[in-house]
């Protein structure tokens, strides 16, 4: 369970914000919000998370997963380099977007996609989900909210920002933008998310209402409903203006509405893997236990008492099997699942297109953390922690792979004692082709 932390906050007078950005007085506001400071010296680098919450170490210690927090900023352009109305207009106007990259909602209900999409033909291929920008603008003028989904996948400025936060928290980050028209319009009803959220207010003002938490640490399949027909009175209300950030732990029911003007905000969702995910993957290997593969007793439903006793015995055996699992191996497997954000893979095409063939003396460098090598009877498997890649090799290549696992820089010649020159070239060229290494002789 998440434990509340009883701590005394003391004002950090004189803390400066980003660059020449001004900060207000440091004392917390009546609404529970507090000013943001980057928590580092003028010449020290900081990550995008510091732009959201100020001092990152304090955020992780006092706020992360524990409670909502509203961070105020007097600079309305604080996040303008990440996303702006002009950037959304540039995405929408040419007509190149396709559903579901954009969807529309009103009053908590989705608007039929057919009302804002049209057919297009490209190179002889007809598509039926092209976003009709004119239809979108008409719906927006009529009170509908625009939802731009998956911006972390195709908008470079959002990609970079998400990658920076992901590098700090170590969990995948996704981004959706919500543009709501003026006049108290509400895009979504009261709901909770199954991931932590950073809300960056980019334009206008939006009023957020937070309600009492009913389920601690909800996940995608529990509880089954994320909607609240009667959430009761809000426990706090926050008006976010451009430049503000609101952090919401997963499970906090909330809704939001625009005020006198249209309002744009960017939601960054931190999709943290859970221990439940780990346990499910561990139990997925339970077929290794012969007794767990046994059939249920004959006519087990006819004798509930006997079946209950047999079930207890099986649970006891399963617990012993679980306790015998190698935690180091499980940890390595989980780390190997870690996928690098797309921005970390940028530049590969340019390097591949501009470089000549890899030779025996071509210098190569591993991309990301060390790899994991698993040895089997007839083959070896190489896993990359920063990418969802598993490469299978003949067992005879295992000694060379073991050398590469321990090296960050190498060339094919370094494997001369383990593989013949043609075999060493085949190996390193495959690693390069799969994107696990890059050349250091090409910018």
Give the pLDDT score at 87: 94
- Quick one: 261 and 281 in the same domain? no
Burial class from Cβ neighbours inside 10 Å (0-12, 13-18, 19+) for residue 376 reads exposed
Based on the fold, state whether residues 161 and 293 are members of the same structural domain. no
Total structural domains within the chain: 3
131 & 260 share domain = yes
d(CA 305, CA 311): 10
330 in a structural domain = no
Q: Residues 169, 291: one domain?
A: no
Q: Return the CATH number at 52.
A: 2.60.120.650
Residues 212 and 353 in one domain: no
The answer to whether 132 and 118 have CB atoms below 8 angstroms apart is yes
Q: Return the pLDDT at 18.
A: 31
Three-state secondary-structure class, residue 73:
coil
Looking at the chain, how many residues does it have? Answer: 443
- Could you tell me if 310 and 416 lie in one domain? no
Q: Which domain holds residue 162?
A: 1-272
What pLDDT, on a 0 to 100 scale, did the predictor assign at position 45? Answer: 47
Looking at the domain assignment, is residue 101 inside a domain? yes
- So what's the pLDDT on residue 37? 59
* 145-148 β-sheet, strand order: 34-35, 69-72, 245-248, 196-203, 263-270, 173-180, 145-148, 102-106, 109-110
Cα separation, 307 vs 402, in Å, equals 49
Single residue among 272, 304, 333 that ends a domain in this structure: 272
| 33 lies in some domain | yes
pLDDT at res. 386: 60
Single residue among 272, 290, 307 that ends a domain in this structure: 272
The verdict on residue 94 lying in a domain is yes
Residue 421 in domain: yes
In a domain, 209, yes or no: yes
CA separation, residue 204 to residues 23, 62, 180, 207 (Å): 20, 29, 10, 10
Alpha carbons within 13 A on the beta-carbon side of 244: 24
Mean pLDDT by 10 residues, the chain (443 residues): 35 31 40 59 63 95 96 90 94 89 90 92 88 94 94 93 92 95 80 94 95 90 76 93 96 91 95 93 88 92 95 93 92 76 66 81 85 88 76 92 90 93 93 86 76
Radius of gyration of the chain measured on its C-alpha atoms = 27
228 in the same domain as 287: no
- Kindly state whether residues 418 and 347 are assigned to the same domain: yes
Q: CB-side exposure of 273: number of CA atoms within 13 Å? A: 16
State whether 267 and 280 are in the same domain. Answer: no
Q: Is 407 within a domain? A: yes
Instruction: Identify the residue whose tokens are 């094919």.
Output: 412
Is residue 288 located within the same domain as residue 235?
no
3-class secondary structure, 87: helix
Are residues 293 and 158 both part of a single domain?
no
Is residue 26 in a domain?
A: yes
Instruction: Report pLDDT for 10.
Output: 32
Whichever domain contains 416, its CATH number is 3.90.930.40
- Number of helices (H), then strands (E), belonging to the chain: the values are 12, 20
Check residue 56 and give its pLDDT: 94
Pair (156, 88) in one structural domain: yes
């Amino acid at each position: 369970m998440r434990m509340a932390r009883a701590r005394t906050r003391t004002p950090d007078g004189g803390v400066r914000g980003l660059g020449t950005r001004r900060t207000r007085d440091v004392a917390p506001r009546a609404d529970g919000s507090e000013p943001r400071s980057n928590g580092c010296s003028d010449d020290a680098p900081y990550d995008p998370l510091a732009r959201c919450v100020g001092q990152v170490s304090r955020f992780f210690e006092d706020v992360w997963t524990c409670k909502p927090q509203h961070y105020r900023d007097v600079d309305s352009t604080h996040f303008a380099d990440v996303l702006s109305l002009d950037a959304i207009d540039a995405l929408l106007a040419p007509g190149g977007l396709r559903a579901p990259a954009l969807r529309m909602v009103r009053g908590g209900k989705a608007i039929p996609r057919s009302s804002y999409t049209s057919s297009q033909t490209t190179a002889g291929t007809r598509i039926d989900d092209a976003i009709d920008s004119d239809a979108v603008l008409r719906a927006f003028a009529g009170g509908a909210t625009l939802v731009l989904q998956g911006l972390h996948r195709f908008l470079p400025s959002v990609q970079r920002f998400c990658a920076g936060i992901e590098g700090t928290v170590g969990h995948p980050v996704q981004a959706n933008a919500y543009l709501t028209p003026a006049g108290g319009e509400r895009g979504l009803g009261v709901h909770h998310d199954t991931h932590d959220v950073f809300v960056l207010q980019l334009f206008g003002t939006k009023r957020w209402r937070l309600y009492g938490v009913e389920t601690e640490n909800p996940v995608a399949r529990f509880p089954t409903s994320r909607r609240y027909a009667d959430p009761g009175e809000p426990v706090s209300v926050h008006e976010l203006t451009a430049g503000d950030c609101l952090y919401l732990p997963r499970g906090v029911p909330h809704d939001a509405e625009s005020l006198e003007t249209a309002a744009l905000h960017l939601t960054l969702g931190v999709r943290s893997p859970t221990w439940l995910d780990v346990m499910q993957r561990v139990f997925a290997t339970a077929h290794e236990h012969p007794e767990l593969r046994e059939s249920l007793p004959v006519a087990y439903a006819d004798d509930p008492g006997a079946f209950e006793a047999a079930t207890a015995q099986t649970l006891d055996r399963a617990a012993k099997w679980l306790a015998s699992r190698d935690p180091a191996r499980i940890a390595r497997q989980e780390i190997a699942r870690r996928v690098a954000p797309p921005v970390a893979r940028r530049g590969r095409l340019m390097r591949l297109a501009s470089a000549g063939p890899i030779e025996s003396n071509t210098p190569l460098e591993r991309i990301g953390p060390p790899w994991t090598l698993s040895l089997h009877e007839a083959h070896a498997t190489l896993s990359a922690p920063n990418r969802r890649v598993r490469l299978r090799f003949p067992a005879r290549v295992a000694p060379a792979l073991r050398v590469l696992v321990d090296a960050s820089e190498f060339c094919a010649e370094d494997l001369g004692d383990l593989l013949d020159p043609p075999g060493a070239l085949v190996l390193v060229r495959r690693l390069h082709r799969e994107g696990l290494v890059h050349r250091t002789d090409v910018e």
